Amino acid sequence: MSTVGAPALLEGLIERLAARLRDALRRARRTGAPVLASASAPWPGVHDPLAIARASRRTGEPWFYLEQPARQGAALAALGCVRELAAVGEGRFGALAAAWRELSAGALCDEPAGPAGAGLVALGGFAFHPSGGGSAAWDGFPPASLIVPELALARRADQTWLTLALEVAPDDTGEDLLARAARRLRELREAPLPLLDPAPTGRHRVLSPIPPAHYEEAVARALELIAAGELEKIVLAREVEVHAPADYEAGALLGVLREAFDECFVFAVGRGEAALIGASPELLVRREGQRAATVALAGSARRSADPAVDDHLGERLLRSDKDREENAIVARRIARALRPHALWVTTAAEPALVRIANIQHLATPIRAQLAQPLDAVTLAGLLHPTPAVGGEPPARAEKLIPALEGLDRGWYAGGIGWVDQAGDGEFCVALRCALLRGRLARCYAGCGIVRDSEPSAELAETEIKLGALLPLLAG
């Protein structure tokens, strides 16, 4: 393990922060209300935000990590909590967006610079259902929650930026604030990620809280509703538990995931002693200025180690009426949701194949030029849940999903991401994920059910999707 902050960098960042803190103290004492202050600086050299976050985390503090390795190593990692924004219910996205606009508008920060995510940000995620996960398993993961971190690291290609934020109260002193900032920076460490134990002592137990046969029955019931005209599509998920002989190490698992799934969004949201980790292939929304980008990802097939067989499976997926219909339902709804807020929306004429380590999907890119400056949180609320994780029509599907599945989705099939002061940001869909708590991992995977679905085939597809994490979690 080594300290990562070069003295010149740390001194420069403290110097920049000192100026912000002086102004923040004056405002806080004048208004009687706390003020956010932050400073950012480029960090020369090659750095791994995940390794730094893991090595520098204080016991029990919240942490965050999001990386898409194939996109020039784009990564954002964060530690600590200066302020948490939380909301519940149907209006949770609007409430979060408004709270962030008000908070960030009053913050004293450096001018935006560096890669996406550099500077003052709020990051976290939201549950699938407006009321969130009600079970004890999802304790610490509210229906919608964004945290303004104390320390954030943003990287793209060979650029890494460090941001430090503090909340300044009227009765604070400049000396105490600077001492707190310096202490946090001195704690920065970078250590290699731990390796997974290739031969763990003890046995792993893999359990299905609800028998697989129940999933096939749920699919069969959904097909009856589709045939009766009550639904066009519905996504049904399964939960699998893995009981390990020792506590899971999130850093080791994430290190493997980003190597194996470099095209995906590899993510972690840590709250208390729990962490939601995953490798999601699906972008919910990315907002850059007045442009919004998303993707309709639906329709799946397995991969093969034989290139000829793999190509055949991909071609068959591209020609599958069932899978193309599933993808088209998602694309139509996304475009319909964006049009009232956009000057134009473009949808690719044909879906393309997206291949990741153990599965391939049909993907239809969708882009929009916004007519008004909607922020990333608001856009996420407009699109969530897409039919790729919910159903069509949405209101009917969302009522049926809990009854048919019989599980608490929590943040599974919700969203993970961030937003900055300008409203730019991105959220991925929380798929191919596991909730870690001590020695227990809860894994989730779901499939889209349309009129030509077959219960046994859908069950087999969940096994393929669970294959992203189960081999790592079960030793």
Out of 282, 326, 426, 458, which one is annotated catalytic?
A: 282
Helix (H) or strand (E) segment spanning residue 35? strand 35-42
Residues paired with 123 in a beta bridge: 147, 418
Three-state SS at 175: helix
The structure tokens 């990386």 sit at 67
d(CA 117, CA 105) in angstroms, rounded, equals 17
d(CA 88, CA 417) in angstroms, rounded, equals 17
Residue pair 469/242 in contact (Cβ under 8 Å)? The answer is no
List, in order, residues 6 or more apart from 64 with CB less than 8 Å away.
53, 76, 77, 78, 123, 124, 147, 149, 268, 269, 270, 418
Residue pair 35/106 in contact (Cβ under 8 Å)? The answer is yes
Residue pair 118/40 in contact (Cβ under 8 Å)? The answer is yes
Helix (H) or strand (E) segment spanning residue 155? strand 151-156
At 77, give phi and psi (nearest 5°): -130, 150
The structure tokens 């913050």 sit at 107
List, in order, residues 6 or more apart from 95 with CB less than 8 Å away.
87, 144
465 included as an active-site residue: no
Residue pair 408/135 in contact (Cβ under 8 Å)? The answer is yes
282 included as an active-site residue: yes
Out of 67, 167, 190, 233, which one is annotated catalytic?
A: 233
Active centre residues (catalytic): 233, 282
